[in-house]
Amino acid sequence: MKIIVCLKQVPDTAATIKVKPDGSGVETEGITYVINPYDEFALEEALRIKERLGEGEVTVITLGPPKAKEALRTALAMGADKGVHLSDPAFEGGDSYATAKALARAIQGLPYDLILCGKQAVDDDAAQVGPAMAELLGLPQACVITKLEIDANRKKAVVHRQIEGASEIMEVSLPAVFTAQKGLNEPRYPSLKGIMGAKKKEIAEHNPSSLGLSPEEVGLAGSKVKILKLSPPPSRATGKILEGEPREQASQLVKLLREEAKII
C-alpha cells in the first residue's frame, strides 16, 4: 500500500508568537519549528498501517521554505520512506487553495492508495488544505478521524469521525483523503537509528514549473484569500476580585454584570 502524508512545518506550540509591527506576519526570529502535531498523527497512522500490512511505502510531502526540509527529515527519521519538497519563492504566501493545488499536482505524479493529512495546521488553523486537495484530486474524503481500519484487499477503509456529541462511522472506498484528529494514535519519537538512516533517504524537490504550474497559479499570486493584516488579541484588562460575604459578593456580581458588562 502506497501512502502519502502531507506535512506542514509550524512554530512549536510552546513558542511565544509575536506579530510583526506592520501586521504582515509573525516574527520568525528565535522560533523553533516542529511538524504540525495533527500531521504527526497522520504520519504515525501511515507508519502503523505499513507495519501492520508488512509492506508498503510512506511518502511525506510538504510545501514550505528551505527550512521545512527539516520537518521532512524528521518524518523520514520516524520511518517514512521518501520525501517530496515543494520549495520555491513562488510558493510563498499562498492560501489554503493555492497550497492544496500545488500539493494535489505533486501527488498526481505519484502512485498512491491513501492520503493522510492533519485535520488542521496549528499556525493558521484553517483546516482547508486536506478537503480542498481531495476535491482537486476528485477523491472521497473524511475529516477529523479518530480511528482508521484499512481493508487493503477490498480497497476500503472504515473511519471513525468525531461529530458533535457522538462518533460517526463510515466506510470509504480507496483511494481517499483522511485528516487526522488527536486521539488517532500516539506518535513515536524518531530513534537515533532512524535519524542516521534518514540522511540516506531521498527528498525530491519541486518548483512550479516542474509541476506544470505557472508562477501565477501558486503562492500569493494564485491565492483566493489575501491576508490584509495580523494583529495580536487585545491584552486582557486586570480582573476584579469581589470581597465580603458570599451574599454580598453575589449581589455585587449581579450589579457588575448588569451595569458594567451589560450582559444580563
- Which residues lie near other proteins (CB under 8 A)? 12-15, 30, 32, 70, 73-74, 77, 189-193, 195-196, 198-199
Nearer to other proteins among residue 163 and residue 192 (C-beta): 192
Find out whether 126 and 96 touch, Cβ atoms under 8 Å: yes
Cell of 80: 517514512
Q: How far is the CB of 17 from other proteins (least distance, A)?
A: 13
Question: Which helix (H) or strand (E) is 204 found in, with range?
Answer: strand 203-206
To which H or E segment does residue 157 belong?
Answer: strand 156-163
Residue 95 has phi, psi (to 5 degrees) of -90, -175
Query: How does DSSP classify residue 61?
Result: E
State the minimum distance, in angstroms, from the CB of residue 214 to other proteins.
33
Please list the residues that pair with 141 across neighbouring strands: 177
Least CB distance to other proteins at residue 139 (A)? 32
End-to-end CA distance of the chain: 59
Residue 75 CA to residue 258 CA, distance in Å, equals 54
Nearer to other proteins, 189 or 255 (CB): 189
H or E element in which residue 106 lies: helix 96-108
H/E segment holding residue 132:
helix 129-137
Q: How far is the CB of 69 from other proteins (least distance, A)?
A: 8
Nearest to residue 106, comparing CAs of 84, 88, 90? 84
User: Which strand (E) or helix (H) includes residue 194?
Assistant: helix 192-198
In the complex with other proteins, which residue's Cβ is closer, 28 or 191? Answer: 191
Q: How far is the CB of 9 from other proteins (least distance, A)?
A: 13
Residue closer to other proteins (CB basis): 70 or 81: 70
Q: Is the peptide bond before 175 cis (omega within 30 degrees of 0)?
A: yes
Q: How far is the CB of 199 from other proteins (least distance, A)?
A: 7
* Nearer of residues 65 and 215 to other proteins, judged by Cβ: 65
Q: Name which of 64 and 175 has its Cβ closer to other proteins.
A: 64
- The CB-of-182 to other proteins minimum distance in angstroms stands at 15
